Chain A
Amino acid sequence: MSRVTSLLRQTRRPGRLGWTDILSYGYLALGVVLMFGPVLWLVLSSLKTPAALLEFPPSFLPLTQKTISVPGHARPLELHRVRLPDGSVKELAQVRRIGIQATMIDPADPARPAIRVPIEAREPIREIAFAWSNYTEPLKQFAFGRYFANSLIVTILATIITLLINSMAAYALAIYEFRGKNAALLMVIGTLMIPITIVLVPVFLVVTQLGLNNSLWAVILPGAATPTGVFLLRQYMLTLPRDLIEAARMDKASEWQIYSRIVMPLTLPALAVLAIFSIMWRWNEFLWPLAVLTKSEVYTLQIGLNAFQGELQTQWHYLLAMTVMTLAPVALVFVFLQRFITTGIANTGMK
C-alpha cells in the first residue's frame, strides 16, 4: 500500500531499495553523465592547447605530444611508439620528418645510428598537460576586471529594477479591480512573445534619442519591464489568500505596506525564479549590448569574450578559458538562490 506515496514522495523504507528507486537512481545517473559531462568537458577543453582543441577525434583530457631531451639535440624530441619491421614495438624519439619518412633514434641509446620509419608505423605518445596560458595570456590584454564589473552592475541593477517594477505591476493586476485592468493585462500578455531581437532597430532608435548610447543604462533599462516577469508574478499572487490583505487593511496598513511587508515576502519563491531568470539572461546577453555599447570601458563580459571571434579565425582557446571564468559567479548565485525556491514554499504551508 505504501507504494502509492513512495512513487511520488520518497523511498519505501530506509535501507531498502524498491524498483522505483532503482529506476530513479538510474535516471539520475544518466542525468549526471548527460547534463554534467559536457560541462566538465568544456572546463577540460579550456585547458587544451590551440592545436589539441581542433583535434579530431577530440580527447576528453587535455593531451599534448610527449617530448624528451636527448643529449646532442638542442630541442626536445617528440616521443613516438613505433612498430618496427620485425613486429616489435618500441618507444623512439623523432629527430626529423621529411615527407612520409621519419628519422628516429632510441632515447635510451642515442649513440646508435638513427633508423628511418614510414610515418604510418609510428604513433605519438601523449601526456596530460594543462595549458594554463589560455587563462594567463588573455588576462594581460583582456580587461577582465572591468568587463566583469560592468556585467555585475548591469546584472544586479537590472535584476533589482525588474523585480521591483514587475512585482508592483503584478500586485496591481492581481489584487485590484480597476478601470483599464483588462487593457493592461492584454498589453502584458500580448507582448510576452516578442523577442528583442526583432525590434532591435526601433529600440536602438529610442535609446539613441534618449542619449543613452555607451552607458550601461542602455543595456539595463530596455529589458527591465519584462512581460514574462509580470505574468509569472501575477500568476503566483493570484494564489495568495485574499483575507490576508483584507485583514491588513482593517489594521490600517497602507497599500504600500501591504505590498512590501505581506505580499512581497509571500511571493519570494516566484521572485527567486524571476531573479534567476533575469540574472541568467542579463549575464549572458550579447546581441543587444553589442548594438549599444561601442566603447571598451563599458563592454560587458559577453562582448569582451566574443571579441576573440574574428572574420576568418576564432581564438577558441582564449574564448573557452574566459567563458569558464564567467561561469563561476553565476554558479554561486544559483547555489544561493535555489534554496529560496525549493524551501520557501514548504515553510509557508500555503499553496
Chain B
Amino acid sequence: MQAKRPVISYLLLILCALVIVLPLLDLVSLSFKDLPGIVGHPFSLPEKIYWSNYATAWSDGRLGRFLINTAIVSVVSVAVIILFSSMAAYAIARFQFIGNQLIYLGFLAGLALPIQMIAVPLFILMRQLNLLDNLISVILVYSASGMSFSVFLLVNFIRSVPKDIEDSALIDGAGYFHVFYRIILPLIRPSLTTVALLNFVSAWNGLFFPLVLLSNPDHMTVAVGVLSFIGQYATQWNLLLPSLVIVMLPTLFVFIFASRQFIRNMTAGAVKL
C-alpha cells in the first residue's frame, strides 16, 4: 500500500515524532540547568552545564537505594514470569487433560481484571504472611499478575507451531523436560523477548503496589521514592529533573536494546489480538 505522495505522510509522521521526542530531550537538557534557567527559558540549551544537579539529586534523593530495590523487583519478577509461564503454556498448549481449557480461561480472565482493585485482600494477605514492607510482596504481586498476558501469548505461539520436531524427539526417547528445554524454549524465544520487555517495564514503572505494600524508605522502589523526594523539594526543579532523568534511563536502555526485535515481533503477528 505505497502512497503516491508520501511527502505529506512523512511530514505528519515527523511532526508527531517531534511531539514525542522533544519533551524528553528537553527534560534531559533542562536537568543540566540552574533553577532560573529552568523556570525562565524552556526549550533552550543550557548555557552552562550544572553537573552538580545530578550529584545533589543522587545524594539527597537516595536514588542508589531506590534503583537497587527496583532492579531486584523487576529482574526477579521477569525471571519468575518467564520460567513459570513458559512451563504452564507448554502444558496447556501440548497436553490434553481435564481442566485444560478451564485453567487457560482462568489465566485469560486476569487480562480484564484491574489488578489494583484486589489491593485490599492482597494487603491483608501480605500482612498475614508477614511480608508487608518487604520487596518479596511486590515481586509476588507482579509475578502473579504478569502471568495472564504471558500465558496467553505463549500458548497461542506454541499452538501455531507444528508438533513434528517434538514428536520425533519423543519417539527418539527424549523426556518431556528435555523437549521443553531443548525445543520449546528456543522456539518461543522471540515471544519471550516481548514478555520480558513488557513485564520489565511495568514492574520498573509500577506505582500502586509499592505505594500500598511498602512503607520503609529503605525498601522503596524509584517510582514511589521519587514521589516522596518531590514532596520535600516541590519547587526545586534543578534537583527534581536530574532524578527524573536517572529514573527513566534504565527502562529506556532496555527498550532501545530490544526495540527492533520487539517491534518486529509485535507487528509480525506474534501477538494475535
* Chain B binds chain A: no
**Interfacial residues, chain B to chain A (CB-CB below 8 A):** none
Which residues of A line the B interface, CB within 8 A?
none
